[in-house]
Copies of this chain bind each other. A is one copy, B any other.
Amino acid sequence: MVIVMQPSASEDDLSTVVEFIRSGNGEAFVSRGVNRTVIGLVGDVDQFDDHHLRSLQGVADVVRISAKYKLVSREHHPHRSAVRVGGVPIGPDTVTLIAGPCAVETFDQTLEAATMAREAGATLLRGGAYKPRSSPYAFQGLGPLGLRILAEVREATGLPVVTEVVSPADVDLVAEHVDMVQIGTRNMQNFPLLQAVGAIDKPVMLKRGMSSTIEEWLMAAEYIAQRGNLDIVLCERGIRTFETETRNTLDVSAVPVAQQLSHLPVIIDPSHSGGRRDLVLPLTRAAIAVGADGVIVDVHATPETALCDGPQALVHADIPLLAAAVEAFATASGRTMVRTDRLAV
């Protein structure tokens, strides 16, 4: 940590800052320049709050060097982790395909989507029972009934299930029914919810907030890890920008950046980022090429009647193309597709 003094700071100001640091058992190294003095602060700096230091008389700026997260950081955990979901691995040298409907509507619709997912090479099924929707008048998901449908479709297809949870009160129920719980983009900084999923023994997929920095994303993961659950999969799903041709702007750079800062697997959601069916395949290819550990895709047999996000769902005709693309780009990336033999017929 480095403290930059103002040009106008007095010797007294300087002494006060140095005393403050030493009283907290930190070490302070003072470097005097022509216009400015700089204090290097080492030792256990996590106890010092940047804001406090900035409030001290004469302080111009505080530059924190060490990361604001630890458990999810790669600094003390240099090897990238794999997370297993119902036996299916995600990361670090493979590509895992997750697919399914945006929202669970009926058993038949979910089963058909799961069948499409399997044909595309997916080894995990996605599907929403609780849907956070901007409008209170939009379909909010089937809730517990949706969870039961997902469990039945898992039974029928052998695909482990990923589903979103939106309320701390529902976490236990959801965790009972599915193999990985998802924290959606709007809840990335819903801290009670993060703490709740930090206390379960199922893996968690943490979507990046649509306007969160990578650092905030990793701090959100740290909330989960701090409660004891380190089985976290990060999911980039597009960020909010000024561009209006796409619903969000897929930030592919976030994948190598997050993989460098954190040991957790990082996957991409090409469906929600673009919000357009015609972009799902190119963005899937880009996702794998940039080094994502997996891809999560919406599929729906009849998207024109879907209760949620129909325009971005892949249809039957897209499935062979998706399967071929994932295979080809995993190979070009020197990775192998995750396959599984434990699937029922």
Contacts and interface: CB of A to CB of B under 8 A. Distances in A.
Nearest to A28: B31
Query: What range describes how many residues of A lie at the interface?
Result: 35 or more
A130 to B, nearest CB: 9
Copies in the complex: 4
Interface string A27-60: 1010111111010111100100101101111001
A330 to B, nearest CB: 9
A34 B43 contact: yes
B245 A189 contact: no
Interface in A1-36: 2, 4, 7, 27, 29, 31-36
Contacts of A36: 42, 65-66
A155 interface: no
A342 interface: no
A297 interface: no
Interface in A285-307: 285-291, 303-307
A124 interface: no
Contacts of A65: 4, 36, 38, 60-61
Contacts of A46: 137
Given A289-B289, A290-B283, A42 B51 contact: no
Given A243-B251, A304-B55, A222 B311 contact: no
